[in-house]
């Protein structure tokens, strides 16, 4: 592995339930704030939805993008655009060879707002009222396509679609593409805008969402015995990845190294995690081994930890299975307790938190744990943030998705 090109992180951007930028979002994480709020949309009452809250976007893209950009992009692409522009500016808006510049932005659901709004137009007003841009707005690659267009990236525009692992898988794909020599610099991440009555109703019918309607801020509570499902979120998170030589040559600020990814699929059940965590643990081990590390080098895990009764325990088992006693040296954060679950953007946002944790040497506290579940055998950070050690450190980000997708990313200090 030592002959592989090192891939480093040089720019960060996000728009989330906690803030319109990554800085605002990270500050809210360190302040232990929840992004969950009661939904004000009329459809909640109209369809008598059993869940009345979500972690909806903090800053509307309409405050950031032009009116025309908003008209021509699905909300999922609007979020991706906001986060990508921030990340690109954070990387210094470098002059790069367009044919060595790539985009990889994943999504779980794609342009669902557009799809269903245009279906309504067709049924209620007829074919001439269907927006001519309906198809390019609803397709899942609408975000990677629009971002490549806006930034002028011509080495390829890719879209990983693996439900809630999409954002992490896009980052994994970006690392591979740089190592294969197909690009020098990649804008990579995930986006999701699915707080729409249909996907929302689908999740409620699956009984996947928390129903703590009277107390949204305390609804996302990974590892607590009172957890009763995830809180739906939305937003986008994007990073700029470069080969180390490319970053050094232009004197870029480097946050951390995205050292490796591990990926696997469960082939067990379309939604339920494999209870022993065999697939998830393989992904985690692969991520550590491909980074040229051992489990003892990993000091922190940003866990998938969605706050579902089954999922959190399955992940805990999978971590133990992967790393054995070395697990005791890894402090674990469940940041969905604050952000909610951003679905196809979750892995990207948590990948970004993992990068910031390594960069700032701080593991954020998981909020809302009042009664720790005894079935969780992990050193969960709660109450106060945990300082991470000085010297060379590494951390892991876990992301899993419906379909049995498992992705783990290894971040190393630089």
| Site for other proteins, rule CB under 8 A | 66-68, 71, 128-129, 131-133
Tokens representing 234 are 């939305």
DSSP H or E stretch at residue 406: strand 405-412
Q: Hunting for tokens 């470069």 — which residue is that?
A: 242
Q: SS3 for 164?
A: strand
Catalytic center residues: 164
Identify whether the C-beta of residue 233 lies closer than 8 Å to the C-beta of residue 204.
no
For other proteins, give the closer residue by CB, 129 or 269.
Answer: 129
Token pair recorded at residue 329? 């040296």
Q: Which tokens hold the place of 338?
A: 């604050």
- From the CB of residue 208, how many other CB atoms can be counted at a distance below 10 Å? 18
Q: How far apart are CA 207 and CA 50, in angstroms?
A: 10
Residue 132 or 374 with smaller CB distance to other proteins? 132
* Minimum gap (Å) between residue 63 Cβ and other proteins: 16
Cβ-based neighbours of 1, under 8 Å, separated by 6 or more: 260, 290, 291, 292
Minimal distance, residue 93 CB to other proteins, in Å: 22
In terms of CB distance, is 126 or 391 closer to other proteins? 126
Q: How far is the CB of 126 from other proteins (least distance, A)?
A: 10
Compute the least distance from the CB of residue 72 to other proteins, in Å: 9
Q: How far is the CB of 113 from other proteins (least distance, A)?
A: 18
Between 78 and 398, CB nearer to other proteins:
78
The Cα 408–Cα 289 span in angstroms is 11
Q: CB-wise, 127 or 180, nearer to other proteins? A: 127
DSSP state of 233: B
Report how far residue 411's alpha carbon sits from residue 414's, in angstroms, rounded to the nearest whole number: 9
| Residue whose C-alpha is closest to residue 302's, from 259, 362, 238 | 362
| Degrees, nearest 5: CA angle 179-185-188 | 90
Q: Which is nearer to other proteins, 115 or 381 (CB)?
A: 115
Give min distance, CB of 140 to other proteins, in A.
Answer: 20
| Burial zone of 46 (CB within 10 Å; 0-12 exposed, 13-18 middle, 19+ buried) | exposed
């Amino acid at each position: 592995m030592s002959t592989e090109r090192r891939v480093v992180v040089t720019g960060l951007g996000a728009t989330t339930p906690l803030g319109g930028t990554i800085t605002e979002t990270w500050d809210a994480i360190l302040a232990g704030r929840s992004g969950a709020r009661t939904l004000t949309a009329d459809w909640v009452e109209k369809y008598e939805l059993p869940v009345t809250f979500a972690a909806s976007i903090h800053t509307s893209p309409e405050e950031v993008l032009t009116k025309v950009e908003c008209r021509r992009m699905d909300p999922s692409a609007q979020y991706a655009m906001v986060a990508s522009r921030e990340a690109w500016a954070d990387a210094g808006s470098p002059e790069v060879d367009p044919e060595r510049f790539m985009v990889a932005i994943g999504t779980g659901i794609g342009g669902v707002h557009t799809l269903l709004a245009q279906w309504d137009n067709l049924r209620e007003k007829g074919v001439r009222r269907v927006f001519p841009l309906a198809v390019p707005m609803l397709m899942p690659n609408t975000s990677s396509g629009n971002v490549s267009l806006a930034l002028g990236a011509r080495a390829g525009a890719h879209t990983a679609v693996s439900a809630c692992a999409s954002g992490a898988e896009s980052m994994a794909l970006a690392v591979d593409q740089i190592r294969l020599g197909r690009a020098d610099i990649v804008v990579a991440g995930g986006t999701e805008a699915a707080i729409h009555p249909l996907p929302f109703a689908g999740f409620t019918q699956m009984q996947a969402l928390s129903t703590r309607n009277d107390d949204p801020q305390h609804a996302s509570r990974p590892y607590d015995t009172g957890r009763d499902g995830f809180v739906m979120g939305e937003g986008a998170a994007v990073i700029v990845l470069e080969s180390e030589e490319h970053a050094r040559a232009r004197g870029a600020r480097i946050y951390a190294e995205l050292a490796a990814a591990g990926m696997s699929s469960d082939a067990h059940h379309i939604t339920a995690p494999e209870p022993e965590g065999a697939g998830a643990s393989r992904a985690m081990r692969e991520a550590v081994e491909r980074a040229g590390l051992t489990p003892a080098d990993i000091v922190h895990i940003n866990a998938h930890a969605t706050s579902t009764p089954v999922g959190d325990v399955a992940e805990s088992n999978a971590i133990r299975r992967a790393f054995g006693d070395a697990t005791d040296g890894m402090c674990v954060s469940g940041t969905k307790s604050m952000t909610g679950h951003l679905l196809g953007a979750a892995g990207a946002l948590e990948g970004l938190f993992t990068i910031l944790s390594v960069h700032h040497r701080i593991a954020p506290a998981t909020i809302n744990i009042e009664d720790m579940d005894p079935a969780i055998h992990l050193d969960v950070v709660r109450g106060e943030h945990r300082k991470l050690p000085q010297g060379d450190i590494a951390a892991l980000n876990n992301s899993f998705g419906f379909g049995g997708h498992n992705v783990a990313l290894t971040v190393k200090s630089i």
